[in-house]
Amino acid sequence: MKFSAVKGMHDVVPAEASMWEWIEREARALFATYGFEEIRTPVLEKTALFVRGVGATSAIVEKEMYTFVDQGGEELTLRPEGTAPVVRAYVEQGLYQDDQASKLFYIGPMFRHERPQKGRFRQFSQIGVELLGAAHPLADAEVIAMAVRLVARLGIDDTRLEVNSLGCENCRPNYQAALGALIAQVASQLCDDCHRRIEKNPQRIFDCKNTTCQQALADAPIMQDYWCEPCHEHFSQVCAGLEAMDVPYYCNHRIVRGLDYYQRTAFEIVTNHLGAQSALCGGGRYDGLVKELGGPDSPGVGFALGLERLVMLLEEAQRRPVSRIPRVYVAALGQAAREQMLPVMQQLRQQGVRVEWDYEDRSLKSQMRRADRCGAQWVVIAGDQEIAAGTVAVRNMTDKSQHDIALGQLVTKVSELISLAKETA
Ligand code: HAM
What per-residue confidence (pLDDT) applies to 425? Answer: 60
Contact 255, 283 (CB under 8 A): no
Rg, the chain, Cα only: 28
Question: What is the pLDDT at residue 424?
Answer: 67
Please answer whether residues 307 and 124 qualify as being in contact, where contact means their C-beta atoms are separated by less than 8 angstroms.
yes
Ligand 1 pocket, residue 334 CB under 6 Å: no
Mean pLDDT, the chain, rounded, equals: 93
pLDDT in tens, 227-257: 999 999 999 999 999 999 999 999 998 898 8
pLDDT at residue 172, as a whole number:
92
More confident residue, 204 or 179: 179
Q: How far is the CA of 134 from the centre of ligand 1 (A)?
A: 22
More confidently predicted of 384 and 262: 262
pLDDT of residue 98: 86
Contacts for 346-353 with beta carbons within 8 Å, 24 or more apart?
Answer: 347/411, 348/411, 348/414, 348/415, 351/411, 351/415, 352/325, 352/326, 353/325, 353/326, 353/327, 353/328, 353/414, 353/415, 353/418
Answer yes or no: is the C-beta of 114 below 6 A from any ligand 1 atom: yes
For the residues 386-390, what does the mean pLDDT come to?
A: 89
Interval 315-324 mean pLDDT: 79
Predicted confidence (pLDDT) at residue 355 exceeds the cutoff of 80: yes
56 pLDDT exceeds 90? no
Give the mean pLDDT of 255-262.
89
% of the chain residues with pLDDT over 90? 72
Spatial distance between the Cα atoms of 227 and 78, rounded to a whole number of angstroms: 36
Percent of the chain with pLDDT over 70: 99
Q: Whose CA is nearest to atom 23 of ligand 1?
A: 306
pLDDT digits (tens, 9 = 90+) for 142-179: 999 999 999 999 999 999 999 999 999 999 999 989 99
pLDDT of amino acid 45: 98
Calpha distance 159→398 (Å, rounded):
37
Q: Pick from 308, 323, 284: which is nearest to 139 by CA?
A: 284
Q: Are 304 and 321 in contact (CB under 8 A)?
A: no
Determine if ligand 1 sits within 6 Å of the CB of residue 281.
Answer: yes
Element of type H or E holding 306: strand 300-306
**pTM to 2 decimal places:** 0.90
Of 31, 60, 78, 81, best ligand 1 pocket probe by most atoms within 8 Å of the beta carbon: 81
Return the closest-CA partner of residue 140 out of 253, 289, 247: 247
Going by alpha carbons, the residue nearest to atom 13 of ligand 1 is: 306
Is any atom of ligand 1 closer than 6 Å to the C-beta of 302? yes
Q: Please indicate whether residue 285, judged by its CB atom, sits closer than 6 Å to ligand 1.
A: no
Lowest mean pLDDT among 5-19, 184-198, 390-404: 184-198
> Residue 109: pLDDT band by 50, 70, 90 thresholds?
very high
C-alpha 306 – ligand 1 centre gap (Å): 6
112 within 8 A of 277, measured Cβ to Cβ: no
Neighbours of 278 (CB within 10 A): 17
The answer to whether the CB of 106 is under 6 A from ligand 1 is no
Higher pLDDT: 286 or 416? It is 286
User: Closest by alpha carbon to 270, among 122, 130, 124, 148?
Assistant: 148
How far does the centroid of ligand 1 lie from the alpha carbon of residue 105, in Å? 14
Ligand 1 site, residue 300, Cβ cutoff 6 A: no
Question: 131-147 burial string, b = 16+ CB within 10 Å, else e?
Answer: bbbbbebbbbbbbbbbb
Query: Which of 13-17, 127-131, 331-335 is modeled with the greatest confidence?
Result: 127-131
State if residue 262 touches ligand 1 by the CB under 6 angstroms criterion: no
User: Which residue's alpha carbon is at the smallest distance from atom 4 of ligand 1?
Assistant: 282
- Spatial contact of 354 and 414, defined as CB atoms under 8 Å apart: no
| Distance of CA 7 from the midpoint of ligand 1 (Å) | 19
